[in-house]
Amino acid sequence: MKSAHATLRGMGTFDSVNPARPGEVLGTRTLGGAAEVDAAVARAAAAQRAWAKVPAPARAEMIAATGEVLAARKAELAELVAREAGKVLVEANGDVQEAIDMGGFVAGLGRMPMGETVASELPNKMGYTTRHPVGVVGMITPWNFPVAIPSWKCFPALLAGNAVVLKPSEFAPLCAEAFVAACVDAGIPGDLLNIVHGARDAGAALAVHPGVGALSFTGSVPTGRLVAAAAAETGPRLVSLELGGKNAMVVMPDADLELVVDGAVWGAFGTAGQRCTSTSRLVIDRTVADRVTEQVAERAAGLRLGDPMDPATDVGPVITAESGRRITGMVEAALDEGAEVATGGALVEVDGCEGGTFMQPTVLRGVKPSHRIALDEVFGPVLSVIEVDGLDEAIDVVNSAEYGLSAAVYTSDIGVAMRAVDAIDTGIVYVNAPTIGAEIQLPFGGTKHTGNGFREAGTRGIEQFSQVKTVYIDYSGRLQRAQIDNRE
């Protein structure tokens, strides 16, 4: 394995580098495998037994303290995110802020109900539910939100009383280490949070380890399917998947078109299009398509490519040279199917960023719903314009993709907006806002091939890391038979 971003050195180590300048090595780490996963799970399991006995409010206080440590280190962490993940500095700050916010939110859940009390059908009897930890949680996280996503997973898992073995992306190992260091410095016992670096070997070992009670994965659909299949085959465990997206922005003729252009540019080209929620399709009513497409293309052409650490940079690099080749290959295939380039479409060199892979913000017009570019996840700065006649056709186009993560509808008609909200088959729908911008206090996740039903963040985030226990207490002093003794 060799790429422009994570380079193997010999057999046992790899380099993490700056994707804007791959010759700049940020750190060298050891590749883990089955043995390292075994050791990490053993440490985690031993630490979890004591942690589970700590009252949830006390666990929450440590999570709150972690948020404070992250806040104190925000500037340095954001610089690390920019250098290791290639996110422009303003977005890198947002990545860290998301983790800070998640710390505060999850800490607040420590004093919230963890179950429900339900009336019994029999006298002198009560029933209620509680949530209990699963033990050790395995986590496989991506590079594109290298601080935020670990916080989405680790904080709820810790609050639930679990220990964690984290396998971060080999493209962002230092960010994961910095997040864990903040947790430990805030008082969370070190053995509760274990990192194993590596690629497929480490991830595969974690997915099937018998000591892992739950597995949380964020990444691509093909890898997610392999992880889920392996985890299911080797034993009962909770498996939560957060996979791809093919997110669409629906634009009706009565929409505020200036707002549409702002949303499309931010949604499609923020993070160089490398978000699972990035706006990939502009599904637009034919009557306003030309005007909006021209304006979006003009704005896209004016975006500045450059070093993410430069405040003047609008769009940073794509993560690897391999990613750049894949993206341009998808654009070329779209042109073969009849699409046209309104702007962009090529890889370019950027002064001062030798070896970095920079993809021009690209707008394709003439895309049909059946084109592969309209159905497959690009994960790059490419926006496909699909013209439709009316809301019903727009909804059909949105729902034609196998993914169901995020969608948006722009209209000034509340009736149209609500019809779209009801009919669009995605886990997240925005009205008059782009497909990116999820907030941590609401559930995050998708339908169809985007996930498997679990949600991250919000009050439901703890569900993937805990088991429900139902309790009945009969204080009648006699045998009572449900469904029998209260019926004639």
Residue listed under structure tokens 């894949």: 326
- Report d(CA 398, CA 283) in Å as an integer: 8
Other CB atoms closer than 10 Å to residue 400's CB: what's the count? 16
Residue listed under structure tokens 């990545």: 95
- 377 annotated active-site: no
The whole-angstrom distance between residue 297's C-alpha and the CA centroid of its chain comes to: 28
Residues 6 or more apart in contact with residue 461 via CB below 8 angstroms: 106, 152, 156, 443, 455
Give phi and psi for 166, each to the nearest 5: -105, 125
- Report d(CA 270, CA 86) in Å as an integer: 12
Q: Report whether 72 contacts 124 (CB < 8 A).
A: no
Write out the two tokens for 154. 């680790």
- Report d(CA 165, CA 43) in Å as an integer: 9
Residue listed under structure tokens 């940073």: 316
Give phi and psi for 40, each to the nearest 5: -65, -40
- Report d(CA 190, CA 182) in Å as an integer: 10
- Report d(CA 412, CA 4) in Å as an integer: 46
- 276 annotated active-site: yes
In the set 276, 377, 387, 456, the catalytic residue is 276
Q: Report whether 33 contacts 202 (CB < 8 A).
A: yes
Residue listed under structure tokens 């703890």: 462
Helical packing angle, 56-72 and 89-109, nearest 10°: 160
Give phi and psi for 304, each to the nearest 5: -95, 125
Which residue from 314, 310, 222 is spatially nearest to 268, judged by alpha carbons?
314
In the set 36, 242, 387, 463, the catalytic residue is 242
Q: Which residues are catalytic?
A: 242, 276
